[in-house]
Amino acid sequence: MIAASVVSAGAMVALGILSVAFLLTVYRVVAGPTLPDRVLALDMLVAIAIGFIAVIAIKTGFTLYIDIAISLGLVGFLATVAFARFILTQAQSNAAERVGAGQNADVIAERWKIRKHKRKKGGR
Amino acid sequence: MDMLWAVIVTALLLSGALFSLIAAIGIVRLPDLYSRMHAASKAGTVGSGLLLLAVGVHSQDMSILARALAGFVFFILTAPIAAHLLARAAHKAGHRLTPPSVRDELLAREQIAVRGYRKKG
């Protein structure tokens, strides 16, 4: 009887600590200056949610929650990988746009030169 | 005997929750994406892993303990991969280290590669 109450009290304290951790991480999601910061904080939120699920599994006695925690971890991992790919492709497309804009400027300048050349020829 | 298991489970619960809290404090307090990643991907993984282990020990059932251990191993395997992918993507996207950190070897390597290419060209 005492053992059960010890575990229950420990679970309550753990839930409180996890709530504080969750709130701190949510602050980073909201305030994070860049996109990778927010992605990292979302990854951390998934880890804390897994912790919540584990503590609730102990409190309620439904050990089936472990499977839910594992699948949530899988989804969180895939989400982080997808976000990383997104950041990478966004950076590459931005760089390509910059290069493309530079090439366009070159092309426009060359056309301008050709036009000038033609005009000169015409003038002659 | 019952009390011993309860104390072990409570210790696992509290240490896991404290590891998660340390990771969250690191995410809020550290100055840089890469140093934040250092806090989140290690302490966060150990935090949720210890909580899963607490469920496995609390159930006192081999199959559930094996499932919890499988989840723990899965997190240990995936957290470094996710952190590495994210750090690499952020570095390629142009997010640099902030002043307290002194050395960026990936950036130096990229610059050397670019210079070598220009010399050849």
Return the pLDDT at A81: 92
* Domain span at A26: 2-123
Return the pLDDT at B20: 93
Phi, psi of B95, rounded to the nearest 5 degrees: -80, 115
Give the three-class secondary structure for B43: helix
Contacts of A47 in chain B (CB under 8 A): 20, 23, 40, 44-45, 47-48, 75, 79
Return the pLDDT at B100: 73
Q: End-to-end CA distance of chain A, in Å?
A: 108
Alpha-carbon distance of A90 to B108, in angstroms, equals 23
Report the share of chain B in percent with pLDDT over 90.
Answer: 36
Q: Give yes or no for a contact between B66 and B32, defined as CB atoms under 8 angstroms apart.
A: no
Contacts of A30 in chain B (CB under 8 A): none
CB contact under 8 A, A85 and B89: yes
pLDDT band for position A118 (cuts 50, 70, 90):
low
- In a 13 Å sphere around the CA of B80, the CA atoms on its Cβ side amount to 3
Residue A61 backbone class (left: φ over 0; alpha: ψ -120 to 50; beta: rest): left
Q: What is the pTM of this model?
A: 0.81
- Better-predicted residue by pLDDT, A59 or B105: A59
Residues 50-89 of B with CB under 8 A from A: 51-52, 54-56, 58-59, 61, 64, 67-68, 70-71, 74-75, 78-79, 81-83, 85-86, 88-89
pLDDT band for position A21 (cuts 50, 70, 90):
very high
Return the pLDDT at B69: 92
Express each pLDDT in A85-104 by its tens digit: 998 888 888 877 777 666 66
Residues 69-88 of A with CB under 8 A from B: 69-70, 73-74, 77, 80-81, 83-85, 87-88
Report the share of chain B in percent with pLDDT over 70.
Answer: 95
Give the three-class secondary structure for A110: helix
Looking at the structure of chain A, the number of domains it has is 1
- In this structure, how many other beta carbons lie within 10 angstroms of the beta carbon of residue A50? 28
Pair of tokens at residue A34: 């860049």
Pair of tokens at residue B38: 């250092």
pLDDT band for position B24 (cuts 50, 70, 90):
very high
Among A1, A24, A30, most B C-beta atoms within 10 A, so best to mutate, is A24
Residues 19-48 of B with CB under 8 A from A: 20-21, 23-25, 27-28, 33, 36-37, 40-41, 44-45, 47-48
Is the CB of residue B115 less than 8 Å away from at least one CB of chain A? no
- Out of B17, B59, B61, the one facing A17 most closely (by C-beta) is B17
**A·B CB contacts under 8 A:** 190
Q: Which residues of A52-78 are buried (b: 16+ CB within 10 A; e: fewer)?
A: bbbbbbbbeeebebbeebbebbeebbe
Which amino acid appears at position B113 of this protein?
A
- Scanning the structure block, which residue is given the tokens 């404090």? B25
CA distance A60 to chain B (A): 11
